[in-house]
Structure 1
Amino acid sequence: MNDPRITCPACSHEIPLTESLAGPLLVKTRQDAAARQEAALAEQKRTIEAEAAARATAAQAAKLAEIEVRAQEREAEIAAMKVRDADRETKLAAAQKAQAAALAREEALKDREREMDLTIQKQVAAATDVARRKLQAEAEAMATERLKTVQEVNALKLAEKDQQMEGMRRKVEEMQKKMDQGSQQLQGEAAEVVLEDQLARAFPTDVIEPVGKGQRGADCLQRVGTVGTILWEAKRTSGWNKDWLPKLRDDMRSVGADVAVLTSAVRPEGLETFALVDGIWIAAPRYAVPLACVLREGLSRAAEARGVREGQATKTEMLYDYLTGPQFRSRMEAVIEPFEAMQMALLKERKQMQAQWALREKQLEKAMASMMGMYGDVRGIAGAAVAEIEALEPDLLEGD
């Protein structure tokens, strides 16, 4: 085992280091090393502290310099602010002066406005009075015009409704006629055939001529030799119609018949067998042949009378015979009947107009009542703000 050796610094002799010799040296060496290390650490610490102090001093100095710079800048800003404040004070003083002048002008303008308001109020009051009078006159005119318009509209509506009702009534009648036409036509044709058959069997020497459909002249003609002609018409309906007689008289005149007979299952009230009504013989169907016998006898006697006087009659007698005969009577009836129809139409029209006048009078009263109610409602809501309309004042209406 090689022991560690040390060289003597004086004689350069190597001395082996034994445990007894090296122990104290090692201790001392350790102590010296520790002392040196502590000295080095202390020196390093001092160096670090010095550097830190230097850095802190430099930073503090920089900070102080920065603070001084900021303080200078702040002082400059304060100086500028003082300058701005002085300028602002100057401007504020000028603004106060301008405001005072503006207030003075505003007061002057207010005084002028008050004067103008008074002038305008006076002008408005005068114009309002004129406008109120004008509006009152216009309202009265409008009320009158509206009343006329309402009356005209009501009259037009009423006329339209009347026309509609009349049109509907006519349509209903036409439909009813179309519905009844088939059965009535068949019944009428059956009655006509029965009548012709009865007359042909009862009077084989007479000529029975049926009147074609669509031709004027009732149903058939009975020519009694050379003594005269009887016009026959057969009806088989559920109701009596007074318009059959004027039509049959016209047919009698158109064909030149001496007598006209209407046979019907329905006759005027109180007529059970046969009778002469307005120049037309009306008979029940079962009395048609007996009546034809009577009429044929009358025509024969009239023909005999005319034959006796033929060639002997003077103009006066001929005129008398004409005036008292059936031909003149038929002519006169043909002239009078249109006048009677016109008179009946005038009476009917007069009644209708009276009914319309009464209806319009009621409508006018309702319109006036509605207008008075509306006027009263407006006066009740607005009070004196609404101008009075003399035409709608109750006292004036009662006085009228």
Structure 2
Amino acid sequence: MKSEPVAGVRPEVKRRAEQGSQQLQGEVQKLELENLLRTKFPFDAIEPVPKGEFGGDVLHRVVGAGGQSGGTILWEFNRTKNWSDAWLAKLRDDQRTAKAEIAVIVSQSLPKDVETFEMVEGVWVTHPRAALPVAMIFRLSLLEVALARQSTEGQQTKTEMVYQYLTGPRFRQRVEAIVEAFSTMQEDLDKERKAIMKQWAKREEQIERVMGATVGMYGDLQGIAGKPLQEIEGLSLQALDAPVVNNRSAAE
């Protein structure tokens, strides 16, 4: 007897297969771009980011023909249907950790109003078809900056060195990290303040309800018992209406 397929199994299997296929395609694309960079720039050190160190996929250390270091590019490859702005903040953090001058996201899906490549919030975003030209531009720029820096080496005063640091990417990255952390702390503080104010208002309302119920019950009993019911301090009309005074004023 031939068993019927269980409803819901085939769509689930198909979804998992498609998800696995997308992940595989992403890995293939990453390896293709990685190999393309190695082939195009044989003098550069192009290495996968070790697992567990920081984010990103490839660390591209630019090396000139004379062996001089030009700088570092951190590449991240994404193959998803939808763009996520969260990638930007994460790669900026990874860029600081890697001490890279440039961070690039290569993605099939791009932010709104970005057609091929653009800088978005301090991170370069590019479509895979423009990845190689973008790499060539960034590499040339880093080498030119490194060459200019070497030509003035030994002639710099401390003031000039401080100026270069303040106007360079490292200082900007550190300030951005501080600002982002401060903004997050401020948002958390505002949320906590609103939550506490809400709790205070709720407790104040509960206390007023308890006091109202207690005074009402005392009034009912006083109406039934009449004069024999002893007065309770704090529940009399004078006590409830009297302004609160501190001990020093009462003593005086």
The answer to whether the superposition gives a TM-score over 0.5 is: yes
Please point out which of 23, 29, 32 is paired with 1:197.
32
1:101-180 paired onto structure 2 within 5 Å = none
Structure 1 residue 231: deviation in Å? Answer: 0.6
Please point out which of 207, 229, 241 is paired with 1:364.
207
1:309 aligns with 2:147: no
Q: Deviations for 1:9-28, whole angstroms, at most 9, x for unmatched residues?
A: xxxxxxxxxxxxxxxxxxxx
Which runs of 5 or more residues in structure 1 are unaligned? 1-182
**Which residue of 2 is the match for residue 250 of structure 1?**
93
1:351 aligns with 2:194: yes
- Identity within the alignment, %: 46
1:220 aligns with 2:58: yes
Structure 1 residue 274: deviation in Å? Answer: 4.2
Q: Structure 2: which amino acid aligns with 1:198?
A: L
**Which residue of 2 is the match for residue 76 of structure 1?**
none
Structure 1 residue 359: deviation in Å? Answer: 2.4
For the structure 1 residues 317 and 266, does the alpha-carbon distance in structure 2 shift closer, same or farther, using more than 3 Å as the test? same
Counting matched residue pairs gives 218
Q: Structure 2: which amino acid aligns with 1:201?
A: L
TM-score (normalizing by structure 2): 0.65
Q: Structure 1: which amino acid aligns with 2:119?
A: L
1:327 aligns with 2:162: no
Please point out which of 187, 193, 210 is paired with 2:48.
210
Q: Structure 2: which amino acid aligns with 1:391?
A: G
Q: Deviations for 1:336-367, whole angstroms, at most 9, x for unmatched residues?
A: 44444433333332222222222222222333
Q: Specify the SS of the correspondent of 1:234.
A: strand
Q: Structure 1: which amino acid aligns with 2:32?
A: D
For the structure 1 residues 264 and 188, does the alpha-carbon distance in structure 2 shift closer, same or farther, using more than 3 Å as the test? farther
Structure 1 residue 230: deviation in Å? Answer: 0.8
For the Cα contact (< 8 Å) 2:72–2:102, is it kept in 1? yes
**Which residue of 1 is the match for residue 135 of structure 2?**
292
For the Cα contact (< 8 Å) 1:249–1:260, is it kept in 2? yes
Q: Structure 2: which amino acid aligns with 1:204?
A: T
1:386 aligns with 2:229: yes
For the structure 1 residues 321 and 387, does the alpha-carbon distance in structure 2 shift closer, same or farther, using more than 3 Å as the test? same
Structure 1 residue 259: deviation in Å? Answer: 1.0
For the Cα contact (< 8 Å) 1:184–1:237, is it kept in 2? no
For the structure 1 residues 390 and 259, does the alpha-carbon distance in structure 2 shift closer, same or farther, using more than 3 Å as the test? same
For the Cα contact (< 8 Å) 2:37–2:132, is it kept in 1? yes
Q: Structure 1: which amino acid aligns with 2:40?
A: T
**Which residue of 2 is the match for residue 134 of structure 1?**
none
Q: Deviations for 1:192-238, whole angstroms, at most 9, x for unmatched residues?
A: 54134235326623343112332324221123323221112234376
Q: Specify the SS of the correspondent of 2:40.
A: coil
**Which residue of 2 is the match for residue 240 of structure 1?**
84
Q: Quick check: which one's helix share is greater?
A: 1
> Quick one: higher RCO (CA 8 Å, sep 6+), 1 or 2?
2
